[in-house]
């Protein structure tokens, strides 16, 4: 079995190569070779296909891609190579069930299959989106913790400390990461969800030093939380990320590697992006020693995951992984539109449906491309979770028809989506619920979903 020391040995003694040669001459070329070899074709009329042979071809192409190109260490300028037997052994030994959380909030993340009736694991929150103040941070996380379907929380990222904007790898980032952990636990305590796991509590910690500093138990982090470490596109790692992995492993934490191959980037179109996503799953359990995986593929143009071709990528990648492995995979979705708009709710509904019926669990969500401060509320992840539970067990063919109807409601506006409103313009922090205006938007959205055959929970008055 490949261990972290084996990864370091490969990173130090693997084949030397420049980063540009790895990305363009090796990785990008090999992805397209695999797409041609297996005849993988994107069908825009079926964003959620029901073709098992397509899923199996994408899986095999992804496995071969990893064996052919390996991972790349930017710190050493070398390729980290894996044999087919190493990949298959890692897949065999990967966990199919993990527990997170404490006490009554302790839950099990389990492997899901295509059209599985098991509700998805709901990792709910801002997806690491930027947050301007302690007040807005607490408002958001309290709201996430109160969602009945919440299995775990994904926090916002703090952008300021003492009035100063956080700078990478500086004392400001270290202090912000510590505060990230403290405030997240405090917010859960305030609403009686003390044991809720925080699976990206250190969203603020981009550097390894901030990550390690904030993991100290005095700040509220627990072994039963999730330790998320991001991969660079395509299939790249550096010593800073391996430092994070070494620290998390030493604490007995479960690492989740997050990765976001860009549709339109090094992987090419939807076909290559689906293959790349599968390869990243396997790269994660080997290079990052991950126990769970978190794909967040986004479109290069829209910076979101709700376009027709992106839904196809999510679905085919999910089907490939769930049919051929027992990996624990949680898909993170992004919308183009902002809060208090019907478009945002339709976008997340389509992405969540594509993921859940294809065997994935969900992290929801990055709102309005996840780049605007305080441009998210607890309402969007709540709606996402309700949709995820409602479509669990749905046939792929029915889900395909559903998402096509949802696409018809927003697809034409992807190039110019409404930004919506900021947190306190559409969320009442005292009542901890949407404003009257947003309440009306959600009620009309739910009525439309009911017309489409999806019954969601009635809104509280």
Task: Tell me the HSE value of 414 on the side-chain side, using a 13 A CA sphere.
Answer: 22
The per-residue pLDDT of the chain, averaged, comes to 96
Are 162 and 81 members of one domain? Answer: no
Q: From 190, 192, 199, 228, select the one nearest 122 (Cα to Cα).
A: 199
Cβ count within 10 A of residue 415:
9
Separation of alpha carbons 356 and 396, rounded Å: 10
What average pLDDT does this structure show over 403-421? 98
Are 58 and 172 members of one domain? Answer: no
**pLDDT category, 418, cuts 50, 70, 90?**
very high
Residue 201 has pLDDT above 90, yes or no: no
Are 56 and 175 members of one domain? Answer: no
Are 88 and 185 members of one domain? Answer: no
Q: Is position 456 within any domain?
A: no
**Number of domains the chain contains:** 2
Are 292 and 423 members of one domain? Answer: yes
Query: What share of the chain in percent tops pLDDT 70?
Result: 99
DSSP state of 48: S
Chain CA centroid to CA 209, Å: 23
* Full domain range(s) for residue 61: 4-93
Are 222 and 175 members of one domain? Answer: yes
Residue 205 has pLDDT above 90, yes or no: no
Q: Is position 347 within any domain?
A: yes
- Check: pTM over 0.95? Answer yes or no: yes
Residue 141 has pLDDT above 90, yes or no: yes
Q: Is position 460 within any domain?
A: no
CA-to-CA separations, 277 to 2, 61, 97, 289, 372, in angstroms, rounded: 21, 11, 21, 17, 26
Angle (nearest 5°) at CA 213 between 211 and 214: 70
Q: What is the pLDDT of residues 2-25, one digit of tens each?
A: 799 999 999 999 999 999 999 999
Q: What is the pLDDT of residues 293-310, one digit of tens each?
A: 999 999 999 999 999 999
Residue 202 has pLDDT above 80, yes or no: no
Residue 194 has pLDDT above 80, yes or no: yes
What average pLDDT does this structure show over 201-219? 84
What average pLDDT does this structure show over 179-205? 90
Collapsing DSSP states into helix, strand and coil, what is residue 294? strand
- 141's enclosing H/E stretch is helix 134-145
Are 85 and 159 members of one domain? Answer: no
Q: Is position 419 within any domain?
A: yes
Last residue of a domain, one of 93, 128, 159: 93
Last residue of a domain, one of 34, 62, 93: 93
Angle subtended by helix axes 52-69 and 84-93, to nearest 10: 120
Separation of alpha carbons 418 and 80, rounded Å: 43
Q: What is the pLDDT of residues 355-383, one digit of tens each?
A: 999 999 999 999 999 999 999 999 999 99
Which of 125-129, 171-175, 217-221, 360-364 is predicted most confidently? 360-364
Are 443 and 372 members of one domain? Answer: yes
Q: Is position 457 within any domain?
A: no
Q: Is position 85 within any domain?
A: yes
Are 376 and 405 members of one domain? Answer: yes
Residue 203 has pLDDT above 80, yes or no: no
Q: What is the pLDDT of residues 86-97, one digit of tens each?
A: 999 999 999 999
Residue 74 has pLDDT above 80, yes or no: yes
Chain CA centroid to CA 101, Å: 19
More confident position, 32 or 221: 32
Question: 418: buried, middle or exposed (CB in 10 Å: 19+, 13-18, 0-12)?
Answer: middle
Q: Is position 461 within any domain?
A: no
- 123's enclosing H/E stretch is strand 122-125
Report the chain's C-alpha Rg in angstroms. Answer: 21
pLDDT at 256: 96
Buried b (16+ CB within 10 A) or exposed e, 299-308: beebbbbbbb
Last residue of a domain, one of 70, 93, 116: 93
Are 113 and 136 members of one domain? Answer: yes
Are 75 and 172 members of one domain? Answer: no
**pLDDT category, 53, cuts 50, 70, 90?**
very high
Cβ contact 202:111 at 8 Å: no
Are 326 and 187 members of one domain? Answer: yes
Separation of alpha carbons 378 and 389, rounded Å: 17
Separation of alpha carbons 195 and 292, rounded Å: 20
Residue 193 has pLDDT above 90, yes or no: yes
pLDDT at 127: 82
Q: Is position 281 within any domain?
A: yes
Q: What is the pLDDT of residues 142-168, one digit of tens each?
A: 999 999 999 999 999 999 998 899 998
- CATH number for the domain spanning 223: value is 3.20.20.460
């Amino acid at each position: 079995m490949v261990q972290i020391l084996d990864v370091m040995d490969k990173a130090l003694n693997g084949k030397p190569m420049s980063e540009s040669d790895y990305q363009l001459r090796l990785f990008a070329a090999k992805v397209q070779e695999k797409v041609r070899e297996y005849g993988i074709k994107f069908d825009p009329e079926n964003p959620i296909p029901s073709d098992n042979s397509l899923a199996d071809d994408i899986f095999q192409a992804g496995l071969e891609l990893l064996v052919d190109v390996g991972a790349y260490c930017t710190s050493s300028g070398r390729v980290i190579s894996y044999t087919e037997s190493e990949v298959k052994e890692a897949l065999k030994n990967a966990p199919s069930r993990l527990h997170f959380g404490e006490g009554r909030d302790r839950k099990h993340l389990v492997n899901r299959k295509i059209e599985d009736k098991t509700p998805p694991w709901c990792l709910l929150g801002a997806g690491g989106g930027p947050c301007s103040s302690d007040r807005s941070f607490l408002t958001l996380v309290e709201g996430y913790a109160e969602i009945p379907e919440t299995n775990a929380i994904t926090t916002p990222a703090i952008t300021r400390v003492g009035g100063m904007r956080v700078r990478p790898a500086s004392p400001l980032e270290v202090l912000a990461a510590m505060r990230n952990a403290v405030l997240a636990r405090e917010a859960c305590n305030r609403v009686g969800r003390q044991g809720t796991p925080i699976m990206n509590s250190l969203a603020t910690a981009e550097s390894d030093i901030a990550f390690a500093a904030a993991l100290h138990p005095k700040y509220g982090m627990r072994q039963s939380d999730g330790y998320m470490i991001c991969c660079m596109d395509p299939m790249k790692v550096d010593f800073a990320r391996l430092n994070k992995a070494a620290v998390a492993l030493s604490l007995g934490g479960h690492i989740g590697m997050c990765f976001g191959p860009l549709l339109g980037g090094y992987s090419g179109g939807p076909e290559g992006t689906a293959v790349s996503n599968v390869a990243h799953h396997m790269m994660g359990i080997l290079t990052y020693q991950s126990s769970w995986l978190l794909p967040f593929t986004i479109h290069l143009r829209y910076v979101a995951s709700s376009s027709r071709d992106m839904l196809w990528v999510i679905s085919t990648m999910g089907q490939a992984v769930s049919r051929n492995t027992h990996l624990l995979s949680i898909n993170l979705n992004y919308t183009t539109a902002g809060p208090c708009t019907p478009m945002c709710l339709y976008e997340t509904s389509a992405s969540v449906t594509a993921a859940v019926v294809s065997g994935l669990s969900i992290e929801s969500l990055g709102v309005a491309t996840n780049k605007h401060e305080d441009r998210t509320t607890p309402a969007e992840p709540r709606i996402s979770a309700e949709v995820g539970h409602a479509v669990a067990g749905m046939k792929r063919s029915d889900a395909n028809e559903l998402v096509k109807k949802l696409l018809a409601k927003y697809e034409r506006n992807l190039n110019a989506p409404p930004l919506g409103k900021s947190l306190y313009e559409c969320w009442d922090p005292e009542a901890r619920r949407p404003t009257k205006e947003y309440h009306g938007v959600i009620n009309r959205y739910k009525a439309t979903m009911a017309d489409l055959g999806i019954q969601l929970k009635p809104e509280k008055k």
